[in-house]
Amino acid sequence: MTDFDDSLINTNEKILNIGTTGLTATAFDYFELKDVIRPAIGKIGFNVSIDNPEIVQALVMQVLSVPYQSLYGTAEFFQDKPLSALLGVENVEFEDLNRVNLARCLDEVYNFGPERLFLRCAKQVAIKLGAQIKECHIDSTSLHYDCKTREEEGVDLLLDKGYSRDGHPELNQINHLQICDAVTKIPFFFKSVSGHIHDKTSFKNLLIDDMPVLKKEFSELKYLVGDSALCTDPIANGAHETVGGMPTVASDINVVGIAKACGYPNAVSVDSFELLDKALEEAKSRNELSLIEVKCSIGARDDLGRPTTTAMENKQNFMEYLKSLL
């Protein structure tokens, strides 16, 4: 470039290495995430040096740039970066990202609920992308910590040993559950549970406690796909009844065909009391293996209580009853 004009260079300007913080800041602006975060945990007052949505943005920029860095290094991380330009606010200095402001922000996130806040941000991203979430996938992983756990009142999340996915079964861990859209692969829900809790338990609790909220935010959501830990319902009614009748793939599975392929000489599917009585009578008259798939309707009587006997006791009682009919 022989015709470049050196006089256009401003010698008072300097070049800063901002790494990936610019991309993260642009994403926050494009998806308008701070407008979603502010009503949830925003501060009120004239003496606020930096608001919580900006602190959340700064923490995300830091984590995505320097993994495993603690809060002690947040102010230092932004010391050589154009913080005001990245956050889109004036007169913000890196000293404003001190431990006091960070701790207060994280307290507000905890009080509001990190899962709820993440869900709101995820919904905003889906809206901006025009994504219609109809099918989602659930899975879990574990994160190990080389430290001791401690119990605190009101906090049921514990570092504990469990099934390790990251090769450190000797260390305490936290299990992390995540639900992602099947098409865009965008994660729109996460939840952390104690390290010793089995997926079968945590998945079931998530269905009961959190899926109604997901269905409310994503009304088109119909299918939840997971591994065997998700199969906790012993009733073939084709729905997760505890979450408003969310359909499962059970209705599309040919149970009778599978049974016959496995060697059952007799297999039948029934969906009424009359057919069930007939199938039971026929099974009693045979001296060979039989399978009866009973399709149940969604719903239960209003006075239905909680189980008072164990699954093993139910099995033994049922077997004794069958013996009494012979």
Residue 248 located in a structural domain: no
Tokens describing residue 114: 């990190």
Tokens describing residue 111: 């009080």
Kindly state whether residues 138 and 75 are assigned to the same domain: no
Kindly state whether residues 87 and 143 are assigned to the same domain: no
Residue 102's pLDDT is what?
Answer: 92
Q: Note down the domain range covering 220.
A: 131-147+156-232
Residue 245 located in a structural domain: no
Residue 244's pLDDT is what?
Answer: 47
Residue 48 located in a structural domain: yes
Residue 58's pLDDT is what?
Answer: 95
185: left (phi over 0), alpha (psi -120 to 50) or beta: left
Q: What is the pLDDT along the chain (326 residues), one digit of tens a residue?
A: 456 565 655 556 667 788 899 999 999 999 999 999 999 998 765 667 899 999 999 999 999 988 767 778 899 999 989 999 999 988 899 999 999 899 999 999 999 999 999 999 999 999 999 998 988 899 999 888 887 777 777 778 888 888 888 888 889 899 999 999 999 899 999 999 998 888 888 888 888 788 888 888 888 888 888 877 776 554 345 555 544 455 666 677 788 888 888 888 999 999 899 999 999 999 888 888 899 988 877 666 666 666 778 888 888 888 898 888 87
Residue 127's pLDDT is what?
Answer: 93
SS3 12: coil
Number of CB atoms found within 10 A of residue 200's CB: 14
Kindly state whether residues 62 and 138 are assigned to the same domain: no
Residue 168's pLDDT is what?
Answer: 86
Kindly state whether residues 225 and 135 are assigned to the same domain: yes
Kindly state whether residues 136 and 108 are assigned to the same domain: no
Cα 317 to Cα 148, 289, 309, 322, 323: the distances in Å are 45, 20, 10, 9, 10
* Polymer length of the chain: 326
CA 44 from centre of chain: 31
Residue 310's pLDDT is what?
Answer: 82
Kindly state whether residues 173 and 265 are assigned to the same domain: no
Residue 240 located in a structural domain: no
For the chain, what is the domain count?
3
Residue 247's pLDDT is what?
Answer: 60
The contacts of residue 31 (CB under 8 Å, 6+ apart) are 121, 124, 125, 128
Kindly state whether residues 21 and 105 are assigned to the same domain: yes
Residue 239 located in a structural domain: no
Kindly state whether residues 222 and 264 are assigned to the same domain: no
Kindly state whether residues 30 and 89 are assigned to the same domain: yes
The per-type count for the chain, helices as H runs and strands as E runs, is 12, 8
DSSP state of 298: S
The per-residue pLDDT for range 210-234, each reduced to its tens digit, is 888 888 888 888 888 887 777 655 4
SS3 112: helix
Query: What is the model's pTM?
Result: 0.66
